[in-house]
Amino acid sequence: MERKVYFDNAATTPMRKEVIDSMHKVLLETFGNPSSTHSFGRSAKTQIETARKSISKHFNSDPQEIIFTSGGTESDNMLLRCAVQDLGVQTVITSKIEHHAILHAVDFLAENKLANVLYVKTDSEGLIDFGDLEHLLKVDRTKKLVSLMHINNEIGTILDLDRVSKLCQDNDALFHTDAVQGVGHYAIDLNQLKIDFLSAAAHKFHGPKGVGFSFVRKNSGLNPFILGGSQERGLRAGTESVHNIVGMAKALEIAYSRIDEEQKYLKDLKTYAIEQFTKSFPEIHFNGCCSDLDRSSCTLVNVSLPVPEDKANLLNFHLDLKGIACSKGSACQSGSTKGSHVIEEVVPLSHKNNPAIRFSFSIFNTKMEIDYLIQTLESFVKE
Ligand SMILES: Cc1ncc(COP(=O)(O)O)c(C=O)c1O
């Protein structure tokens, strides 16, 4: 039988069985429209509000501050566009290594002269230059929004949310974080951190696709991004996807109840992967700071592999043939001939010709799968 190994968990994760069961139950039993006032509707509404309460508890936030959306892209677009339209933000500060959901949204704002966009400097590890951020925050007196991702989806660099949020607060700027890769994997206390807006997507933490949430700090003054009915307290119109919302709450409940043991498992797995890569390919380059477990996510490694040029283009194809799923950059770019904008920013010139590959892990991966990956890579390079 063909062997299948899934190392593309930063693109999406498999759902946990308990999550599927919870959704199955809703699909079978709770089909009412949550806006209907009869018992079918009320029961769907109850499921949504129970999910909202449960989700908000993990972040030490208020249930009212959780707005359900279709996922990370919608949350990012909504929060950036509404902050500019509704809160008088004139300058958005972001970085060049954000996800396209942010980069294309700020391009739209700049092209339509809705906001001025400034990019904070980042270094070869994917860390932001705090001196530059402070400088940009003080550059003029316009109202500012800082949008920086919690965990980089390609290289795994972790942002110091506390330090950025304090800097924003000291300079009277709003702070949005795209936490799509962090939520469910790392604890985020929104009562402690001075974050105004946050984006999350369920499919990155073993929940369903097509659902996520925006955290919108109470009394922020945002108006709806999608117009229509009065769902989500008027902030996001459209009949709620009840089964998806319940599945997301279940996925998050499990993720946070097991966070210590699962982080430990993933750190151990990642350490093993780094050791094996280094042993077999001493010339390997770990992109960003992904070989440092304190400063990068335990869920991924991104490596530039020392592969002869004639073979480099065939590498992904070969891994796929051997049943190994991984990613060249972020999944949204696969099929595109353009290289990754993040890799372009962080990889040193000496490794620019080597193929960069992201292997992203979940608790369903094992060390045996890593052994299989290394053997497959070794035989491909030597062949
Ligand atoms: C950091 C980051 N932001 C946003 C998104 C988009 O999320 P979604 O696929 O839920 O629209 C992704 C998905 O890859 C991501 O990794």
CA dihedral 25, 29, 31, 37 (to 10 degrees): -130
Residue 197: closest CA among 349, 74, 372, 286: 74
Compute the distance between CA of residue 189 and CA of residue 186 in angstroms, rounded to an integer. Answer: 10
150 Cα to the center of ligand 1, angstroms: 12
**pLDDT number for residue 2:** 80
**pLDDT number for residue 380:** 92
- Smallest CA separation from ligand 1 atom 4, residue: 72
Mutate to test the pocket of ligand 1, among 9, 12, 73 (most ligand atoms within 8 A of CB): 73
**pLDDT number for residue 329:** 57
Ligand 1 atom nearest to 202, measured from its CA: 10
Q: What is the DSSP secondary structure assignment for residue 31, as one 8-state letter? A: -
Mutate to test the pocket of ligand 1, among 153, 157, 185, 197 (most ligand atoms within 8 A of CB): 153
99 Cα to the center of ligand 1, angstroms: 7
Determine whether 332 is an active site residue.
yes
**pLDDT number for residue 338:** 65
Residue 117: closest CA among 141, 96, 94: 94
Residues with CB under 6 A from ligand 1: 71-73, 76, 99, 101, 149, 153, 178, 180-181, 201, 212, 330
Q: What is the pTM of this model?
A: 0.96
Q: What are the average pLDDT values for consecutive 10-residue runs of the chain, which has 383 residues?
A: 92 98 98 98 98 98 98 98 97 98 98 98 97 97 98 98 98 98 98 98 98 97 94 95 98 98 98 98 96 97 89 90 86 58 87 90 98 96 83
SS3 state at 297: coil
> Can you list the domains of the chain with their CATH numbers?
5-14+258-382 (3.90.1150.10), 17-257 (3.40.640.10)
CA dihedral 139, 141, 142, 145 (to 10 degrees): 60
66 Cα to the center of ligand 1, angstroms: 18
Among 168, 290, 326, 332, the active-site one is 332
**pLDDT number for residue 337:** 47
**pLDDT number for residue 5:** 98
Mutate to test the pocket of ligand 1, among 13, 76, 80, 180 (most ligand atoms within 8 A of CB): 180
283 has which bridge partners?
A: none
210 Cα to the center of ligand 1, angstroms: 11
203 Cα to the center of ligand 1, angstroms: 9
Q: Which value, in Å, is the radius of gyration of the alpha carbons in the chain?
A: 21
